[in-house]
Structure 1
């Protein structure tokens, strides 16, 4: 298939993903949450950039990030020196995390801790746990045991950390697994597992994102215990004054160079690492290299368009809608509206498209993209609904995180292992740029309007978005296991059917 045809297909896919959330916001803007003309223009322009960006990004990932990650993963698994593979995992985890755009955004919102301290703390957590993920695969340690062990430590640490720092710690686990890191790390896991031929190789290809999401939480909790931060304040972005469409276009044109710099910083470590890998092992041929380079260009363009669209166009709309609904006499509508937005917004996360496609391919179609997308949507809808309840009532996030993780960890012992890996990977994947730039401002706008504590009530929505899919996707796995044990329905014998027909005819 020609490249422009594939690009057209990807753009059409992104239209179907972005259109529902766009329609919901437009309906809200003419009913209970009217937007200013400027904010509405920014949102519409942002939606267009979002659609184009997702199209370019998903095509680019197919052509570049996935082959690169799988190639490095296969070569690492073939290496006779385990220490070299572990060192590569550590360095790779640190490099790609330092460059993750979402982490830079989070660091700017936590003034109590200097940016470099928070960024390198999180990066060290990801690097160490990517190394541990490689160890788990080498020694074939069940993912469920690993998750139970580390989450038990996390919740013990949470009780020793200042309350105001706990939501930031759990949010950091979500923002580190963004659109740059997810495709590469997932492909790395698939490559490492593909060398093995045992029955658990497909299951073990998932789970790297899950463990890489644990590392930052644990690292930032340690930072909170020993660094003694005095305050952690989130500074909401100022909404630009837009009088004409020319002003709106200027906002986007001003934003593009900034996000181009962020994407360059994010992709450069992966590209340099790949160049070193290629020079050492000569794994890819000339034709494959040209395809990868073309794919990197598409990925680069797509991420710039996507990040510009969501940051400039979606953030003001989310903040304004949250405040408008909370200030109305019908503030309880925050819960159903938030759930509706959550259900559809996950479909617009670029990394989600990558995950669902990888799941369908690895499972040979037995786990469909639609089933994973539906389970994810239900999970995010629940998480946003709970976040809105927290804003209206001020309930501590721990009342939801502890039972949620406890249920999800218990379920790991009853569902097929591949569903555990997918579920815990999806938690990190779902909490991407759309959560940070639309759902978080939505929660903060609502929290500010009702006079709540933004730090403890609004912050933490990323953590909730990362937690609920663990349950919904494992429920999908549990239902598939139960179906396997149900006896197949036996068709009625021909004679029985004829007797039934004769009986009903006689009754007539």
Structure 2
């Protein structure tokens, strides 16, 4: 119980800033209908409770399960088993990823199942590639260079309307269910594989699993017509507190089913591994079961709150701000929101905790969070500029990824893995269900093209951390270099003193 209270306190500190910003906007610039405002506040409470339950559950169950399955797959030394099982798990987890369901429902002209199937196939293939990279110890930077080159060549031939959607799909796929399990899977494989690069290889799975969906959706863009009418966000009518309760109670079963479907592949895979290979004692299984329940309930509560309370509020505020005479306010307000909203992403806390543990505290959770927050603030600012001016996403993603890929050659390898993982992690459900609707509302208000101007926000959120985290790596490298130089000088001085003493004695 103490652990749960501690986690809820952490989630309160994460969700409170963005809640306060929206409350201030409501009273100062963009007054929302009373019912919508009450839905938002209720959603904020659900976010706090849900994130607390989820992060505790991920610590107790998702991470240990992923590590054990990854370790067992590697120990078996059966390459075909590793390929088949990792593909199926990547595919099945992605099919039910709630963030992907949100994105697919917002893209006109293409059936939801087509987009979901293509993205899931991409994740399955690239989960296999990322695990094989660890097994055969291929440098992550080489793999990323090759596949990002393919992405940009393919994007050149894809209709412009579809490019932002493709890059967004890479960001939303790596959500709160996928990230903890995939990261732990890589940690387990790297630990058994061993070698000097084991720590470095622990990261990079999320990065490569974000590449697969982009390629898959770009290929779809070559065959589908992307024109179509955009379905506007419907704001529910609320007149009293009973209406709020009824709306949330109506949506709970939907997310209950979604999360159950998303978690089931992981649970089934673990049960199979338990009976055949692991054979863990009863006490371990009870602890894991409790963790799964926490994870399940946490995600149901979190996703209901964010979809019912935050999604329509984000859309309304974006539309209202863009409709003001001084709509340039979208840029600074968007940046402030971006800075704080990343702290409310459940998977961010999972990544930051693992980074701190794997690096032995050399990269703290606080340093990671600040770097991510700055990156996301910049990305939201750029996204707002795009909405107000209609500038093509190409002018940002090409130089952005060029800088990120160039930095790979100047930072320790572990920072490359962490940076590219961070890009996928930062663009989670809060981005998909608050910031993306915020951008859509703004684009609609200024009369822009929602597909080309609003979509692409998730892609920007996924891109900027690649640069900021690697800059953190450059700083870390310089600090370590200075420390080693000082240590070397101290050692030399001590040696000289010993020689002088020896000379004096003689």
2:400 and 2:381 map into 1 onto residues whose CA distance is 14
Q: Given the alignment of the two structures, is residue 132 of structure 1 paired with residue 129 of structure 2, yes or no?
A: yes
Contact 2:110–2:224 (CA under 8 A) maintained in structure 1: no
Give the superposition deviation at 1:103: 1.4
Give the superposition deviation at 1:234: 4.0
Work out which of the residue numbers 384, 388, 394 in structure 1 matches 2:384.
388
Work out which of the residue numbers 326, 330, 335 in structure 1 matches 2:326.
330
Q: Given the alignment of the two structures, is residue 36 of structure 1 paired with residue 33 of structure 2, yes or no?
A: yes
Contact 1:327–1:449 (CA under 8 A) maintained in structure 2: yes
Task: Specify the SS of the correspondent of 1:30.
Answer: helix
Work out which of the residue numbers 442, 449, 460 in structure 1 matches 2:445.
449
Work out which of the residue numbers 142, 164, 174 in structure 2 matches 1:145.
142
2:53 and 2:237 map into 1 onto residues whose CA distance is 30
1:80 and 1:36 map into 2 onto residues whose CA distance is 60
2:406 and 2:467 map into 1 onto residues whose CA distance is 10
Work out which of the residue numbers 237, 240, 247 in structure 2 matches 1:251.
247
1:168 and 1:134 map into 2 onto residues whose CA distance is 27
Partner of 1:286: 282
Partner of 2:6: 9
Partner of 1:439: 435
Q: Which runs of 5+ in 1 are unaligned?
A: 492-508
Contact 1:236–1:441 (CA under 8 A) maintained in structure 2: no
1:300 and 1:425 map into 2 onto residues whose CA distance is 23
Superimposed CA distance per residue, residues 204-248 of structure 1 (whole angstroms, 9 cap, x where no aligned partner)? 0000000000001001111111x2324255423200111112211
Give the superposition deviation at 1:328: 1.1
2:450 and 2:3 map into 1 onto residues whose CA distance is 44
Give the superposition deviation at 1:481: 0.6
Q: Map of 1:10-409 to 2, 5 A cutoff? A: 10-225=7-222, 227-231=223-227, 233-409=229-405
2:147 and 2:228 map into 1 onto residues whose CA distance is 25
Superimposed CA distance per residue, residues 433-463 of structure 1 (whole angstroms, 9 cap, x where no aligned partner)? 0001100111111111111111100011111
Partner of 1:421: 417
Give the superposition deviation at 1:105: 1.9
Contact 1:18–1:348 (CA under 8 A) maintained in structure 2: yes
Superimposed CA distance per residue, residues 295-327 of structure 1 (whole angstroms, 9 cap, x where no aligned partner)? 110111100110011000111111111111111
Task: Specify the SS of the correspondent of 2:193.
Answer: coil
Give the superposition deviation at 1:133: 0.5
Change (3 A) 1:232 1:161: farther
Deviates more, 1:203-212 or 1:78-87: 78-87
Change (3 A) 1:283 1:479: farther
Instruction: Return the TM-score normalized by structure 2.
Output: 0.94
Task: Specify the SS of the correspondent of 1:159.
Answer: helix
Give the superposition deviation at 1:121: 1.0
Count of aligned residue pairs for this structure pair: 487
1:224 and 1:319 map into 2 onto residues whose CA distance is 26
Give the superposition deviation at 1:116: 2.1
2:82 and 2:193 map into 1 onto residues whose CA distance is 16
Give the superposition deviation at 1:488: 4.0
Superimposed CA distance per residue, residues 367-410 of structure 1 (whole angstroms, 9 cap, x where no aligned partner)? 10000000000000000000000000000011100110010000
Change (3 A) 1:188 1:283: farther
Task: Specify the SS of the correspondent of 2:107.
Answer: coil
Give the superposition deviation at 1:356: 0.3
Contact 2:86–2:128 (CA under 8 A) maintained in structure 1: yes
Change (3 A) 1:209 1:233: farther
Contact 2:102–2:433 (CA under 8 A) maintained in structure 1: no
1:213 and 1:296 map into 2 onto residues whose CA distance is 25
Q: Which runs of 5+ in 2 are unaligned?
A: 491-506
Contact 1:110–1:233 (CA under 8 A) maintained in structure 2: no
Partner of 1:497: none
1:71 and 1:484 map into 2 onto residues whose CA distance is 33
Contact 1:444–1:454 (CA under 8 A) maintained in structure 2: yes
Task: Specify the SS of the correspondent of 2:28.
Answer: coil
Contact 1:447–1:453 (CA under 8 A) maintained in structure 2: yes
Instruction: Return the TM-score normalized by structure 1.
Output: 0.94
Give the superposition deviation at 1:199: 1.7
Contact 1:109–1:233 (CA under 8 A) maintained in structure 2: no
2:229 and 2:409 map into 1 onto residues whose CA distance is 39
Task: Specify the SS of the correspondent of 1:243.
Answer: coil
Task: Specify the SS of the correspondent of 1:195.
Answer: helix
